[in-house]
Amino acid sequence: MKKALLFIFSIMVFGVTAQTVTLQPIPSAGWADLDDDSTNPKKVKAGSTITNTSDVSKNFRWTLTIESQEDPWGFAVCDINTCYNVGVTTETFTLAAGQSSIMDVYVYPSGDQQVLEGAVPGTGSATLFITEIGQPDNSITGEYNFTVDGAAVPTSLTELELAQLKLFPNPTSDYFEVQGPEGVSSVSIYNLFGTAIENFVFQSGEKYNISTYAKGLYLVALEDENGQLLKTLRLQKY
């Protein structure tokens, strides 16, 4: 009888791994608006904090699973070591006794970590399964949900679309507007010496007043939202 009790006690003490990893919050949510740059729509974050609650250092592995997503969204993970590229789905990390760290998931609505062009709105979700290496019972699963609002962002203009960009009327005595496909973000006017005269935030159908300008030839630079020059056009003021 004593041996039986001792065997049961041994299982209870040595055979069961205590839960010593926590993740908060669960679920975690990320939101952004493609029409509002202040919401950081290029890189949408759903953040969590992971903690090793034990009194010894532990090694863990996380595995990312995408549950649902919009095309062409990309998912990426940031842990205590680094922020990984889109497409990395599993990595290891170490937490010292009592240490906490980020365990964040990001959505890139364009699928590209560098640009917003091509981004689309929608919803998506992913899970992170985190387990102690060698102790599979010491694990936890984080849920990350994303909502991206706003209008889809056009991709870079093609050569054909760039050719369609024009100023009208041209020549002009008082105002002009930019005509052509979407993709222009700013309109800058320069003299022939390359000196900047005025800069406008582009709005479709907007009329830009140059009635106070001296007669002559000007250069109008059209740029996208990343500050990349799309096209430079000549404007004649009479």
The full DSSP string for 94-143 is EE-TT-EEE-EEEEETTS-SS--TT---EEEEEEEEEEETTEEEEEEEEE
Residue range 6-29, pLDDT digits in tens? 444 444 444 445 899 999 999 999
Q: What is the average per-residue pLDDT within 130-143?
A: 97
Residue range 22-75, pLDDT digits in tens? 999 999 999 999 999 999 999 999 999 999 999 999 999 999 999 999 999 999
Residue range 98-120, pLDDT digits in tens? 999 999 999 999 998 988 888 99
Counting every residue written for the chain, the total comes to 238
Mean pLDDT of the chain: 90
Q: What's the pTM value of the predicted model, to 2 decimals?
A: 0.64
Hey, what domains does the chain have and what are their CATH numbers? 20-149 (2.60.40.10), 159-237 (2.60.40.1930)
Residue 183 CA to residue 230 CA, distance in Å, equals 9
At 223 the three-state DSSP class reads: strand
